[in-house]
Structures are given as structure tokens and as C-alpha cells.
Amino acid sequence: MKVLWEGVMPAVTTKFTSDDQLDLAMFEKNIKAQIAAGVHGIILGGTLGEASTLEQEEKVTLIKKSVELADGKIPVIMNVAEQSTKGAIAAAQLAEKVGANGLMLLPPMRYKATDYETVAYFKAVASSTSLPIMLYNNPVDYKIEVTLDMLEELIQCENIQAIKESTRDITNVIRIQNRFGDRVKVFTGVDTLGLESLVIGAVGWVAGLVCAYPAETVAIYELVKAGRIEEALKIYRWFMPLLELDISPQLVQNIKLAEVATGIGTEYVRAPRLPLQGAERERVLAVIDTAMKHRPVLPAYRNLKSMA
């Protein structure tokens, strides 16, 4: 199916059993909750999906299961994060072969590539597949920035169509749109800048806490799109302590604890990650508990008339 590159796309967590196998039953429960809430796509195998610890056959299983559950209603996007260009091309081609509708592409892992090397890497992967691609621009975590000049060169590849903007510089949303217009669809990739980015023009939100709170996240997006900013802001203020759990090295453990609270996940992670312990665990649980006690009643956010 065609990827529209708009709306809320959860970077879903990978569900594991207590004996470290894929928990497809809980995965299905979560994906169904995302679809019921009105998300606009599913992104697999990102940082939240514990991609670095997944085997290729597990990635294939997750793609096939997600495509089955999506049933043509929303696109399934596979993350590609590899150490070599050869490995990234193989991963992209495999994702396409088994049914993914699009790709989210990270720069080379581990090696801090130069601008020239990064552009060559992205172009090589894009040229190897017909799938549409969202680039992931996150120099804070991955130490490589996709600059506007690099993006100018990269969009020579027609299937490079969107960018997940995670520089933490919110004005970059405007810079990209000023230079490229609709040619590059800009998504915010930082939960704590979600509403602000949407207000100034981002067309979508690759979100983290949506994994536990899909309705609240989609409601914010739809309300902003409809120009009902005050209503969106009321939900966002409640959401902020939870959203801050996303900007942490332990974001996977944090968000999985939140999924437990909302009944659509477990806290099993794959080693070397381990469940939170001690004071930090108590702190995160307190944030979640407070939020659950004051969870907002949402307006009827589906099918609102857009201001666009």
C-alpha cells in the first residue's frame, strides 16, 4: 500500500516472553490497540523495538505479523540500522520481500561517517529498493547530522520522501519546509516536542509513549490538525511527565512499564537490557501511577475537520 507520510506512527516495542522469545500474542494486542486508536502507520525495529538485539528471522516474523494485523488499513514501516552498507541493503531488500510498505533509515551504526560517506550510504540503500524511505536525523544519539545541504543531495532519490527530525532544534522543522516544501515530509521524533512541532508544521509524529497511550497521542495530533490547540494542550500538559520517560537511555524499560500499566504490554526486555531496579524503578512507577490516576477524558477526536 502507498505510504502517505503523515500522522502518528508509533515506534512500537518488541514484546518478549519470560524465556526471551517473541511474544506475538501481546504484540498483537498492542498493535490492535494502536489501530483502534487511529494511528497512521506502524514502525518496527527501532530503538524502542530493541533492533540491535533482534535476529533477522525475528524481524521477518514481526513484519509479517504486522502486515497481517494492519490488513491494508495502515502501512508497516521497517527500521534499517546496520553497521555496513552491504548489511543495510540486504536488510532493506529483505523487508521489501516479506511485505513491508516502507523503511525508516538510520545512518551507519558505530562508525561516525563523514557527510560524504553518509550521503553515499543513504543513496546506496535507497537505490537498492523501491520502498519509500524516511530518513532518521538524530545527531544527539547517533552523532551524525543530516544537514540541509546533505538532504538537498539525497532527495535526488525519489523514494527518499520523509525525515524524522530529532535534532532537538525545533526550528529545523521550519528550515526543512522553507527549503524543500512538500518534497520532504517532516515528522517530529522527540516526544517532548510533539505538540510544538505539529503546531509549526510537522506533518507527523514518530512517537514513543504512544506505545502505551495510543488514544491520547492520536488525539493530540488530530486536535492540532483541526486547530483545536487549547484542547490538545490540555492533554499534552497531562502527558508531559510521561513523555519525558522517552528521552532517557532507559526509554525501552520506561515505556514497557507504562505498557504494563495500560494493559497492552509486559516489561520483559532482552539482555543486556534489564528491567528497572531500585529507586529509579520506583520513580518511573510513581510517574506512571500519577498519570493513570489523572488520565484525561478525551474528546471525540476521530474524523475531525482539518484546518489544512
- The secondary structure element, H or E, covering residue 187 is strand 185-188
Res. 136: pLDDT tops 90: yes
Distances (CA, A) of 153 to 118, 123, 135: 11, 9, 13
Torsion, Cα 121 41 33 47, to 10 degrees, reads 10
- The arithmetic mean of pLDDT across residues 249-260, rounded, is 97
Res. 307: pLDDT tops 70: no
Q: Return mean pLDDT, the chain.
A: 96
Hey, what domains does the chain have and what are their CATH numbers? Answer: 7-293 (3.20.20.70)
pLDDT of the residue at 304: 87
> CA-based angle 75:229:252, to the nearest 5?
50
Percent of the chain past pLDDT 90, that is, above it, reads 95
Contact between 193 and 222 (Cβ < 8 Å) = no
Using DSSP, state whether 98 is helix, strand or coil: coil
Quick one: pLDDT band at residue 308, thresholds 50, 70, 90? low
Per-residue pLDDT of 55-99, as tens digits, reads 999 999 999 999 999 999 999 999 999 999 999 999 999 999 999
Res. 1: pLDDT tops 90: no
Torsion, Cα 264 268 273 277, to 10 degrees, reads 90
pLDDT of the residue at 12: 98
CA distance 308 to 291: 32
- The arithmetic mean of pLDDT across residues 265-274, rounded, is 97
Torsion, Cα 252 253 256 257, to 10 degrees, reads -150
pLDDT of the residue at 28: 98
Unique residue bearing C-alpha cell 489544512: 308
- The arithmetic mean of pLDDT across residues 126-139, rounded, is 97
